[in-house]
């Protein structure tokens, strides 16, 4: 998995800070997560091929998380895109985008497929043979979801030396990869574990922005490899975090610790702070493996 941070700041803009948008590359997918104003330019800056983006996940309908989407949809059309674009977003977005297209008299020549979300429980919203995406219901001022991206456990790997030594016909390879025992050419049963190796462990990534400190997400994100958890504020502004339904760096770390995740990435910083280093210092007092997101930063895991 490769995570590219296109923008990791909250609402009010500064020169050189971008609102929320991320690209998650996972099992040959290029998922766009949130799409704040200016995302299409950040995609260009980070050399993400527009045609690779086929799925967009929008956490909620505050502008700093989706005001870049209408422009992106429009640009895709000008570039004569043909592939479908799937958009997973709270109910209401389809109506806004449709109205904007109607007013501009520019309907897309490719298919826009809206998957409107309204459930308050976690649900599976995307699945193929390699990846699953689940919602993570968050507690914010309006209806908001985080997203959990999970690689499925892959097939077992053939231990080719052992397979050849055991004299197993090639027609059984598929069954071996799927974990089954098979017969050799003499009719003897060969136990799967003698001729295969464990699959590459599946990775998982949880994106949680924006939210009040909420332990109810812990069962959903338990033991993910990487957790992005918003930290709009630091602890001295905890009261402000509460009234605006955001989290502090310390609270993000508490969630990371309780969910026993592999790594915590902080982001969605308020632009009121001159430096973001204090977010990391604060989180590290609770949980050790903390990284700061920065616009343009890439995480590989």
Q: What's 264's DSSP letter?
A: E
> Taking the complex as a whole, how short is the minimal distance between the CB of residue 137 and a second copy, in angstroms?
17
**Cβ proximity to a second copy, 68 vs 267, nearer residue:** 68
**Cβ proximity to a second copy, 90 vs 205, nearer residue:** 90
> Taking the complex as a whole, how short is the minimal distance between the CB of residue 245 and a second copy, in angstroms?
11
Contact footprint for a second copy (CB under 8 A): 11-15, 37-38, 40-41, 44-45, 61-64, 67-68, 70-71, 74-75, 78-79, 90, 92-93, 95-96, 99-100, 103-106, 141-142
> Taking the complex as a whole, how short is the minimal distance between the CB of residue 110 and a second copy, in angstroms?
15
- Per the residue annotation, which of 34, 64, 210, 295 is the catalytic one? 64
298-300 and 182-183 strand pairing: unpaired
Contact (CB, 8 A) for 88 and 125: yes
Q: What's 216's DSSP letter?
A: G
> Taking the complex as a whole, how short is the minimal distance between the CB of residue 300 and a second copy, in angstroms?
23
Q: What distances in angstroms separate CA 158 from CA 117, 164, 171, 204, one per listed residue?
A: 41, 10, 13, 24
Across 232-263, b (16+ Cβ under 10 Å) vs e yields: bbbbebeeebeebbbbbbbbbbbbbeebebeb
**Cβ proximity to a second copy, 202 vs 244, nearer residue:** 244
Across 76-88, b (16+ Cβ under 10 Å) vs e yields: bbeeebeeebbbb
**5: three-class secondary structure by DSSP:** strand
64 classed as catalytic: yes
Tell me how far the alpha carbon of residue 131 is from its chain's centroid. Answer: 11
Tell me how far the alpha carbon of residue 145 is from its chain's centroid. Answer: 11
Q: What's 184's DSSP letter?
A: -
**Cβ proximity to a second copy, 83 vs 194, nearer residue:** 83
**Cβ proximity to a second copy, 35 vs 168, nearer residue:** 35
Two tokens, residue 155: 């097939």
**Cβ proximity to a second copy, 222 vs 272, nearer residue:** 272
> Taking the complex as a whole, how short is the minimal distance between the CB of residue 268 and a second copy, in angstroms?
14
What span, in angstroms and rounded, lies between the C-alpha atoms of 283 and 249?
5
Which of 1, 2, 59, 11 lies closest to 35 in space, CA to CA? 59
> Taking the complex as a whole, how short is the minimal distance between the CB of residue 94 and a second copy, in angstroms?
11
CB neighbour class for 289 (10 Å; exposed up to 12, middle 13-18, buried from 19): middle
Active site residues: 64
């Amino acid at each position: 998995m490769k995570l590219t941070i296109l923008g990791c700041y909250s609402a009010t803009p500064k020169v050189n800070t971008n609102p929320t948008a991320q690209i998650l590359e996972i099992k040959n997918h290029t998922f766009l997560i949130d799409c704040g104003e200016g995302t299409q330019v950040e995609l260009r800056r980070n050399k993400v091929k527009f045609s690779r983006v086929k799925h967009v996940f929008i956490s909620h309908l505050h502008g700093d998380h989706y005001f870049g989407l209408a422009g992106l949809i429009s640009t895709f059309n000008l570039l004569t895109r043909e592939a479908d674009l799937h958009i997973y977003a709270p109910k209401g977005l389809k109506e806004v985008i449709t109205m904007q297209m109607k007013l501009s008299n520019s309907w897309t020549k490719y298919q826009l497929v809206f998957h409107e979300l309204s459930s308050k429980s976690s649900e599976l919203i995307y699945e193929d043979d390699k990846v699953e995406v689940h919602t993570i219901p968050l507690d914010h001022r309006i209806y908001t979801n985080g997203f959990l991206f999970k690689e499925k456990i892959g097939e077992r790997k053939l231990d080719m030396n052992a397979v050849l030594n055991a004299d197993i016909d090639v027609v059984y390879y598929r069954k071996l990869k799927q974990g089954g025992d098979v017969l050799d050419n003499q009719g003897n049963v060969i136990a799967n574990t003698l001729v295969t190796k464990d699959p590459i462990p599946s990775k998982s990534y949880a994106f949680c922005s924006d939210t009040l400190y909420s332990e109810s997400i812990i069962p959903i994100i338990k033991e993910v490899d990487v957790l992005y958890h918003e930290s709009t504020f630091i602890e001295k502004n905890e009261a402000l975090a509460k009234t605006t339904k955001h989290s502090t760096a310390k609270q993000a770390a508490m969630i990371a610790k309780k969910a026993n995740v592999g790594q915590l990435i902080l982001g969605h910083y308020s632009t009121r702070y001159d430096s973001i280093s204090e977010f990391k210092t604060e989180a590290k007092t609770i949980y050790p493996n903390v990284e700061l997101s920065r616009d343009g930063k890439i995480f590989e895991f």
